[in-house]
Amino acid sequence: MTGRRAVEKSTTPTPASGSTKRAPQGRRTRRTAGLEEEPEFIQLLTPTGERIDHPDYPLELSDEEARSLYRDMVLVRRVDAEGTALQRQGELGLWASLLGQEAAQIGSGRALRADDFAFPTYREHGVAWCKGVSPVNLLGMFRGVNNGGWDPFENNFNLYTIVIGSQTLHAVGYAMGVQRDGGDSAVIAYFGDGASSQGDVLEAFVFGASYNAPVVFFCQNNQWAISEPTSRQFRVPLYKRAAGFGFPGVRVDGNDVFACLAVTRAALEHARSGQGPMLIEAFTYRMGAHTTSDDPTRYRSSDEVESWRAKDPIVRLRAYLDREGRADDVFYKSVDDEADRLAAEIRSGCLALPDPDPLSMFEHSYADEHAQVTEERAFLAEYLAGFSEELS
Ligand SMILES: Cc1ncc(C[n+]2csc(CCOP(=O)(O)OP(=O)(O)O)c2C)c(N)n1
Ligand SMILES: [Mg+2]
């Protein structure tokens, strides 16, 4: 391909070698206005859309594949915008925006095979999209009408998990099961920079390493855990923690969809081939509020937000597609039209979701009958019956 630069061959081992030494890193260190120095990371696409080759993470994409990554990112950004709007209009109780994290989620999500199992947090709308979970299902969860989810086994995508970090333990347990069943699929656990301070995540690292489980730990370091900056969360770069647990860790430019795809593919292959866990730190930024209940202007500067806007993952990929002549206006218009149709569909789909029977919430608490649940169900049933008497 034309117009590519290359970084020198890394002397450090590739993740596939199973070494616990420092994993290969991509390129120069940069400084951003108003921010601490950015460390090195693996990057295949610069913010201005220039393609860089990395010897340890080769990636060849057809025009169609490159365009489909753009399409996915635009569509999930639209899903996200609708989620925020629906919450503001009183149709959802809450929404957790993925704005700015589209490349980390679509890049890693597209690396997954259908039989790979993903364990998300509450912000992985892009991964859900890649796994084939309907956005209306996500809206239903935030509308409070589907008892928190969907069938995890339909798409190998677990329920959203709000209890910070706990899904990493579930992922390791699941991966140990895959291992014992003799399967060749991999498991991926998503979590945030804040979650990395949670004991569950560190316990998951220990178990994953001890049992050599086929699990990829994918941390989206979006620089904030609600109002806590990363500077208060770790003294050394997050990906370096992996070495202490005995598996490789890499940091990738989380706003570069190509790099996220290539690095996650390598990590999944590492896990599938019996070499155990790997940690990926996707260095990205949460452009919006933590959730619709949050006001980020109270704890971060607009200069910081603006400096990240210049690294927008969608603008970056579009710059690349234009630079290389891999997409034209007809394509961009078709994606915008598709986004409009999707927005209309998911809005009407969300509003049409039926309210559940209030008693249905007791059905999925325990596999077997539980005395306390039985008592609470009876109490609520009696309480609800009081209203129908009043009406009649
Ligand atoms: C065990 C637990 N502790 C605290 C919370 C409250 N809480 C919700 S989100 C959040 C911050 C998470 O930050 P991070 O892991 O960086 O993920 P991000 O929201 O940035 O994607 C906290 C502390 C929780 N949900 N669960
Ligand atoms: Mg965070």
Catalytic residue among 30, 299, 366, 383: 299
Residue 312, sorted as left (phi over 0), alpha (psi -120 to 50) or beta, turns out to be beta
Asked if residue 374 and residue 238 are part of one domain, the reply reads no
Residue 23 has pLDDT above 70, yes or no: no
Q: How far is the CA of 167 from the centre of ligand 1 (A)?
A: 12
Nearest CA to ligand 1 atom 19: 225
Secondary structure (3-state) at 100: coil
Asked if residue 380 and residue 302 are part of one domain, the reply reads no
What's the pLDDT score for residue 6? 67
Residue 390 has pLDDT above 80, yes or no: no
What's the pLDDT score for residue 147? 83
Asked if residue 232 and residue 380 are part of one domain, the reply reads no
What's the pLDDT score for residue 167? 98
Integer Cα distance of 392 and 339 in angstroms? 47
User: Which ligand 1 atom minimizes the distance to the CA of 220?
Assistant: 21
Mean pLDDT of the chain: 91
Asked if residue 381 and residue 284 are part of one domain, the reply reads no
- Tell me if 16 sits within 8 A of 247, measured CB to CB: no
Catalytic-residue membership of 341:
no
Asked if residue 132 and residue 115 are part of one domain, the reply reads yes
Q: How many independent structural domains does the chain possess? A: 2
Give the tens place of pLDDT for each residue, 91-117.
999 999 999 999 999 999 999 999 999
What's the pLDDT score for residue 181? 97
Asked if residue 327 and residue 250 are part of one domain, the reply reads yes
Integer Cα distance of 267 and 103 in angstroms? 17
| Residues flanking ligand 1, CB < 6 Å | 123, 162-164, 192-195, 222, 224-226, 286, 290
Catalytic-residue membership of 110:
no
Asked if residue 296 and residue 172 are part of one domain, the reply reads yes
DSSP letter for 42, please: B
CB atoms within 10 A of CB 40: 16
DSSP letter for 37, please: P
pTM of the prediction? 0.91
DSSP letter for 252, please: E
List, in sequence order, every beta strand (DSSP E) within the chain. Answer: 5-6, 52-53, 117-119, 187-192, 215-221, 224-225, 228-229, 249-253, 278-283
Catalytic-residue membership of 57:
no
What's the pLDDT score for residue 240? 96
Query: What residues make up the domain containing 382?
Result: 358-391
Q: What is the best residue among 164, 169, 223, 308 to mutate for testing ligand 1's pocket, by most ligand atoms within 8 Å of CB?
A: 164
What's the pLDDT score for residue 198? 96
Kindly tell me the sign of the dihedral angle through the C-alpha atoms of 195, 201, 202, 208.
Answer: negative
* Higher-pLDDT residue of 11, 258: 258
Asked if residue 267 and residue 383 are part of one domain, the reply reads no
Integer Cα distance of 189 and 204 in angstroms? 10
Asked if residue 365 and residue 309 are part of one domain, the reply reads no
CB atoms within 10 A of CB 152: 15
Integer Cα distance of 129 and 110 in angstroms? 10
Integer Cα distance of 219 and 242 in angstroms? 12
3-state helix, strand, coil in the chain (%, to 5): 50, 10, 40
215-230 mean pLDDT: 97
Asked if residue 204 and residue 90 are part of one domain, the reply reads yes
Give the tens place of pLDDT for each residue, 310-361.
999 999 999 999 999 999 999 999 999 999 999 999 999 999 999 999 999 8
Q: How far is the CA of 174 from the centre of ligand 2 (A)?
A: 24
Integer Cα distance of 366 and 135 in angstroms? 27
Residue 159 has pLDDT above 80, yes or no: yes
Asked if residue 284 and residue 362 are part of one domain, the reply reads no
Q: Which CATH number covers residue 115?
A: 3.40.50.970
Integer Cα distance of 58 and 258 in angstroms? 10
Q: How far is the CA of 250 from the centre of ligand 2 (A)?
A: 17
Asked if residue 235 and residue 157 are part of one domain, the reply reads yes
